[in-house]
Amino acid sequence: MSDEQAIRRSIAAALRRQLGQGNTRPVIDESLVNAVPEGGTLEVPAGALVTPLAQSTALMRRVKLVTTTDTYTHMDGNTVAIGADHGGFAMKEMLKTELQGKYTVIDCGTNSTESVDYPDFALAVAEQVASGRAWRGIMIDGAGIGSCMVANKVPGVRAALCYDYASAVNSREHNDANVLTLGAGLIGNALAKQIAETWLKTAFGGGRHGKRIDKILAIEQKYGK
């Protein structure tokens, strides 16, 4: 049996074990990614759940995650998760209206100006991104600081608090941020729209920035175990 066949059998066996434990979706975890040679390709069954640590490991080891027909949904550039606490509710609704028609929008709440806790909604947005269900995430609270802290606790998330055009561009070009946080009490709607539009359209610069992102992921893996 070739090494490649052994790897494929090992992956298949692991998926069968996971499915046998009552899961309705196969799960790709970091052990399956680590079983693939660095720079290789891992076929992901349609509908499979790829854990955040598996995503980070794949990036670090340059393992390409693909379905039988297309790239894994984590790379889909159309779905945006958006959330807010009570202080950011009005701005969330405004941005949601702006985004709809251009993107598929997942609204993670809140749904009114009644007082709530921002960590709950920042976590919901971050988990959408980390799981691959959303390509990017936007979270709004009063200052944007607390939500940024929360989102960055979720493996696979690189959240950035942006407050102007330059910070929006930099967070994407240099840091490959995948969650944007905004402070509704610090910026107005016009600036928020400019920041969100710029941030969503700006590509990661790669090059020298790529090795720095690799180091961020290595730190995340070291302390996330």
Does the annotation mark 174 as catalytic? yes
Selected catalytic residue, list 74, 86, 174, 209: 174
Query: Helices 52-61 & 118-131, crossing angle to 10 degrees?
Result: 50
**For residue 176, which phi and psi values (nearest 5 degrees)?**
50, 45
| Placement of tokens 């989102």 in the chain | 151
Would you say the C-alpha torsion 88, 157, 105, 135 has a positive or negative sign?
positive
d(CA 214, CA 208): 10
Rounded to whole angstroms, the maximal C-alpha distance in the chain is 63
Q: Which residues contact 167 (CB under 8 A, 6 or more apart)?
A: 160, 161, 195
* 152-161: burial string, b at 16+ Cβ within 10 Å, e else: bebbbbbbbb
d(CA 43, CA 33): 10
Q: Which residues are catalytic?
A: 174
